[in-house]
Amino acid sequence: MAQEWALWLPEQALKTLRYGGFYTVEIQPGLRVVSLNMNFCARENFWLMVNSTDPANQLQWLVHVLQASEDRGEKVHIIGHIPPGLCLGSWSWNYYHIINRYESTVTGQFFGHTHLDEFQMFYDEETRTRPLGVAFIAPSVTTYVNLNPGYRIYYVDGNYKNSTRLVLDHETYILNLTEANHNLESPGNPEQNPKWSLLYRATEAYGLSSLFPSDYDKLLGIFISDDRTFQKFWYLRHKGHVSESCREACKTTMLCFLRSGCSDELDLCDHLNGFAGNLARAARKTLC
C-alpha cells in the first residue's frame, strides 16, 4: 500500500502507513488531515483481545499530532472507516477524550462503514450537554443492502487566515436504481449512462444556516418534537429508498445512535427531552 500511495504521500506519512496503516498530511497551510486505521477499534477484530485500549499506539500518535497542530495553530480533519461510536468501548472512550481535549483543533470528522447517511454527536465530558463535534457518516456507493448508490460533497470553510475549517454544508447525490433499471428494460431506449441526481442539500432539507455541532444538536431536538422532520431524515438516511417509517422504539434507538459519538453511551437517552422511560429502556436493550 505504501508503494502504491508513494506518489501522494510524503515519506513521514509513508513511514507510519507502513507501521500501522495510519498517517497525517498537511493539505494546505493551516489544514492537516489525519487518516486513522479503524481496524484497531473494530469489534469484529478478535486480535484486539490482546490490546483493545490503543493497538499500535495509534491514539498516542494522534495525541502527538494534535498537540503539534495546536501549537502551530493548525486545524485538523480526521478521516476513517468505522465511526468511533461503533468501536470497542475502551478505544471509543479514549478517542472521545481526545476529541474533548482538542475540540478547537479537530474541526472535521469523516467516516463511513454503515453504508447509510448518518452522523454522531460529541459533547463535553463535564455536562454532556455542550455540543463540540460531529462525526459525519457518509452514504456508500455500494448498494448493500437494498440501497441506491450515493456519494457526498462537503462544503468547508475556505482557505483564508483564521478559517474555522468547519463543514458549512453538504450535498448527497444518488443513482436511482429503480429508474435506471426501468430505462434498461424499455425497448429501444437502453440507459447506457445512468444519471446521478442531487438527493438533498443539508441546510435546505433541515432549514439550517450551517452544519456546526450546535446546529446538529438543535436538529436532534427538532427530530424529537417534529416527527415529520425526523421521517424526512429517515428517508434520506436510506438514500431515497425506504419502505417503512421509523417510530416509537425504532425512533428512540436511532436518536440514541445519533447522539452517542462514544460507545456504550446510551444512558444519555434518559436525558433527552421527550423520551419516555420505556422507550429509552427499549433502545438500550436493542443496542447493547
- Total tally of structural domains belonging to the chain: 2
- Mark whether 30 and 102 lie in a shared domain: yes
In a domain, 82, yes or no: yes
Q: How far apart, in Å, are the Cα atoms of 25 and each of 28, 63, 112, 260, 286? A: 9, 15, 20, 28, 39
* Average predicted confidence (pLDDT) for the chain: 90
- Mark whether 132 and 143 lie in a shared domain: no
3 state DSSP class of 250 = helix
In a domain, 234, yes or no: no
In degrees, rounded to 5, the angle at the alpha carbon of residue 98 between the alpha carbons of residues 220 and 270 is 35
Joined grid coordinates for residue 19: 507501521
Q: What's the pLDDT score for residue 186? A: 59
- Mark whether 120 and 84 lie in a shared domain: yes
Grid-cell match 498517517, residue found: 23
In a domain, 247, yes or no: no
Q: How far apart, in Å, are the Cα atoms of 2 and each of 16, 81, 148, 154? A: 9, 18, 32, 27
- Per-residue pLDDT of 40-78, as tens digits, reads 999 999 999 888 889 999 999 999 999 999 999 999 999
Least confident of 171-175, 192-196, 204-208, 278-282: 278-282
The C-alpha R_g of the chain, in whole angstroms, comes to 20
Of the candidates 169, 195, 224, which is a domain's last residue? 224
Please tell me the distance from the alpha carbon of residue 11 to that of residue 154, in angstroms, as a whole number.
Answer: 28
CATH number of the domain within which 89 lies = 3.60.21.10
pLDDT value at 89 more than 50: yes
- Per-residue pLDDT of 249-286, as tens digits, reads 999 999 999 998 887 665 556 555 455 444 444 444 43
Q: Looking at the chain, how many residues does it have?
A: 288
Q: What's the pLDDT score for residue 241? A: 86
> Tell me, what amino acid is at 147?
L
Least confident of 10-14, 28-32, 163-167, 280-284: 280-284
Contact 23, 37 (CB under 8 A): no
3 state DSSP class of 280 = helix
| Domain encompassing residue 124 | 1-137
